[in-house]
Chains A and B, each alone.
Chain A
């Protein structure tokens, strides 16, 4: 076991979301503020109790962005002793770490996403979205005509990994197909989801080819949305109105691949495997204890990679494993006969939020009270968010 002083000492006490839509005609900041206000109100605290903020994007000075400086000013929070911007799996982990370390007592995490101009023709025609891309900090160094830099922050290597995975393990697309159908089935039961229609395996295989072998139903749905979370000490959480959801253990994961994704290591060496090992070195709960599983689905291969990285099955066996853990009545996965997966529909159905909505759903399920969508007696959730190459998280949440 690794050194692990934070175990169950911090808790998620507030969750806030915006509506999800393809064109909400709002800024990152506007979306982020709505989610933040919802999360702080949900936590039942005064806004001045927030003394740490993790915002969205890469630079805190982005105009109209939901970085920590803009958020603090817009929310009217007087003093923060901690602030950072982050994304994907990392944002939540950074905020939890800051509370655990005592850099702040109550951290607000805000993650905003918008449909980008390179994602559709109608988005490309929208001048507000074009300006966002023009001044974006992440997309600024994607090659500028140099094809060799094309895989800096690109989805294409995930498509190449699908092909290499099938080649190396002599398998087919079953793993990806079952994951896609599972998420769309759950999405059809989530009124907030942008994709309300469930799909069949046949629909999956017939869907449009984008980057062979990756098809449109392998890809998350670009939307405008925001998610926010409030994390504080376990001690404070017990005085607040919501049932505390404790952060039992968490880990990030880094490898030496760096920013050019063609330098990818082997399938079982990517960053999700590093994060998973970091978690299992710290968590007292094991895979058998996991009631709910939330593997990131930016692409279906992300989720399949997470299934194998945390150890539900051996490398290369996800196709057979998911097929044999399929519930044909509800058209969803029940791992080892019980553990449900991505109960809100994830990025494939609810919409693309860089994984932030997985944390939100896990917390809501562990509190109970999700009505017809509530998974009975859910006490623990395993969440894996992030890229094969950077910012992966492995987080174990639990409730009493």
Chain B
């Protein structure tokens, strides 16, 4: 991964040409480019807001800023993909996609891949932690099991 230094808006647009970037989500992608997972958080009441929205649904504050999350969570729900949306793609072993419930808040979930884990070993409510995988010359968030001793 290249070191981009301070990443300005134009660079974020260049790095993520396929993403519908807007004023409410650009900080999330700027952080991804720096290998950080950030989620919008209400600065008045502390509520985490996801997807990337500009107002807190709990207190209606517009004072919302992205904050880094711990990267720890549990598998709320998951499926193993044997076939991808692109019918031309072939996958050798099933791809695990999971809604990871982040420890920061009940119901705060981030959709991601589960890696470093045999598909048959993935279980509901299994503790996982953030890691990064390279796809298309960019680093993207993924989650892996938390080793037994560290749970």
Contacts and interface: CB of A to CB of B under 8 A. Distances in A.
Given A118-B87, A119-B87, A210-B82, A156 B97 contact: yes
A256 B51 CA distance: 12
Contact of A212 (B80, B85, B110, B138): B80
Contacts of B82: 208-212
B99 A120 contact: no
A262 B124 CA distance: 14
A156 B112 contact: no
Contacts of B79: 156-157, 159-160, 163, 211-214
A164 B19 contact: no
B20 A144 contact: yes
- Report the contact-size class of chain A (Cβ under 8 Å from the partner): 35 or more
B57 interface: yes
Given A121-B88, A263-B109, A146 B83 contact: no
B109 A262 contact: yes
B100 to A, nearest CB: 8
A262 B83 CA distance: 20
Interface stretch (A48-56, A147-155, A315-323, A369-377): A147-155
Contacts of A117: 87
A212 B16 CA distance: 30
A259 B98 CA distance: 16
A145 interface: yes
A262 B135 contact: no
A118 B77 contact: no
B26 interface: no
Contact of A118 (B18, B57, B86, B107): B86
A170 to B, nearest CB: 12
A264 B113 CA distance: 18
Given A141-B20, A148-B111, A148-B141, A157 B88 contact: no
A161 B77 contact: yes
A118 B111 contact: no
B60 interface: no
When A and B form their complex, which 3 residue pairs have the shortest distance between CB atoms, in order from nearest? A144-B18, A262-B99, A160-B77
Given A124-B87, A210-B82, 4 more contacts: A123-B87, A145-B138, A160-B99, A256-B57
